[in-house]
Amino acid sequence: MTIYEHLAELAGKPVAEFDHESGGASVGAGDVAWRVETVFDGPEFGEVLREFVDQVDAAAVTHLVIGYWGASYDDHGNADPVDLLVGLAGRLPRLRALFLGDITPEEAEISWIENSDITRLFDAFPELEHLEVRGGKDLALRPVRSRVLRTLRFESGGLPAEVVRAVGASDLPALEHLDLWLGVELYGGDTTVDDLAGILGGERLPALRHLGLEDAEIADDLAGAVAGAGAPIVARLESLSLALGTLTDTGAELLLAGRPLTHLSHLDLHHHYLSDLMMDRVRAALPGVNLDQQETPDDDCFYVAVSE
């Protein structure tokens, strides 16, 4: 799955498009992950979402994908899908998996996706086990508690530091999989290593087995952090990803010189700026590491995989 195509599945269920024009459903409401969306200058998203809960057996829906919901530059305005979902929470009592922002660049660049405070989702859907959010503009999160959340992913060209700090301050005893696309400062990605202290410390994440600190222009700093004494959570991980970012030989040297990473079943560094010699050293020390997509700087400029 990439940001250039719509999701085909979510948390183990195939995605089915809700057609608000034809209405009804040809599959069981609980058998699929439903995508609900509008189009540019199309019907208001709130209207489409209400038609969805009226026409599908909403009480049986467990997986939901929210696509394009409008924008401030759209004639129909920018709906707040979080507000709308919270208002309809009573109609969706079995919701377990949610992808917020299944929006491709043809519909809106990732940096254009206008989000809001997603904290309310945890109160409205206390049984939510899987949450993915795309886009960082206006995205907000306050520390939350969830006894059931197992997967949390943020895809962004610039993830606000306050969101990262909130994740680290949240009580998530069941969380197993965490991905953060940190992005670049130009698009709001102002996270520093210090902002990751709550996550790397791991006190509130006892079940975490995969950590992704990805798409980051501070990839070298992240490499030093995960390999240092201030990241005890790394010893408990089964997989670690610093992919999609601007990792250079400097960061790779820190990985090799720091705490051993040989316990990891998977280390993903794809989309990097390592030299051939350093790639050989990393492969020798960490068999099975993913070093695909070796990039070349453009006039000494290093680019993450996804920003705008």
CB neighbours of 22 closer than 8 A, spacing ≥ 6? none
- 34-74 pLDDT, tens digit per residue, is 999 999 888 999 999 999 999 999 999 999 999 999 988 87
Q: Mean pLDDT throughout 242-268?
A: 96
User: How sure is the predictor about 21, in pLDDT bands with cuts at 50, 70 and 90?
Assistant: low
Q: How far apart (Å, rounded) are the C-alpha atoms in residues 10 and 294?
A: 29
Question: Is residue 218 within 8 Å of residue 182, measured between CB atoms?
Answer: yes
Q: Which CATH superfamily is domain 141-308 in?
A: Ribonuclease Inhibitor (3.80.10.10)
CB neighbours of 272 closer than 8 A, spacing ≥ 6? 219, 243, 245, 246, 247, 248, 252, 291, 293, 294, 295
Q: Mean pLDDT throughout 287-297?
A: 95
Mean pLDDT over the full length of the chain: 94
The DSSP secondary-structure symbol of 294 reads B
Q: Mean pLDDT throughout 248-264?
A: 96
Question: How is the chain split into domains, by residue range?
Answer: 13-109, 141-308
pLDDT of residue 229: 86
Q: Is 80 exceeded by the pLDDT of residue 1?
A: no
Cβ neighbours around 82 below 10 Å, total: 21
pLDDT of residue 164: 98
Which residue, among 224, 133, 209, has the nearest Cα to 172 in the 3D structure? 209
Q: Is 80 exceeded by the pLDDT of residue 197?
A: yes
Please tell me which residue, 148 or 287, carries the higher pLDDT value: 148
The DSSP secondary-structure symbol of 179 reads E
Q: Which two tokens stand for residue 50?
A: 């209400």
- 66-121 pLDDT, tens digit per residue, is 999 998 887 766 789 999 999 999 999 999 999 999 999 999 999 999 999 999 99
The DSSP secondary-structure symbol of 67 reads -
pLDDT of residue 78: 76
